[in-house]
Amino acid sequence: MHEHLKTNHLCPLCRANILDEQPKKPINEVSLEKTIDIINEEIEQWDINRMMELCKAFPQSAKKRIRVDMEEFAYEIAKKFRHYQFYDSDDEYDIEYDSEDERDEQDSYS
């Protein structure tokens, strides 16, 4: 019954109203201002000079390096958005991985 109420406010058997209003979705809306804050925070933490230095030192792999760094950058932002949507908080967060492979894959980029 509880799962049904997340998407519908009618009784699944008799279709009578159970609630006057549908319950709010469990995900918090992220405002444009918060979105910009999250992106700016990640940019401030990103070591762009190191990336450029490595691209100059190893030009044969510069395109791959930039792609991997941008994937990591986007992944970190996605984790922050997800955390903020569920917890509406700027506190430190831990993302739960679905498998050991995902954790190993992420560690190999670092």
pLDDT tens-place string over residues 15-27: 777 766 655 556 7
Residue type, 54: L
- Residues in contact with 76: Cβ distance below 8 Å, sequence separation at least 6, in sequence order: 42
Check: pTM over 0.95? Answer yes or no.
no
Q: What are phi and psi of 17, to 5 degrees?
A: -65, 130
User: What integer is the mean pLDDT of 57-61?
Assistant: 95
- Residues in contact with 110: Cβ distance below 8 Å, sequence separation at least 6, in sequence order: 72
Q: Is the pLDDT of residue 68 over 90?
A: yes
Say how far apart CA 7 and CA 98 lie, in whole Å: 26
Question: Residue 109: its pLDDT value, please?
Answer: 44
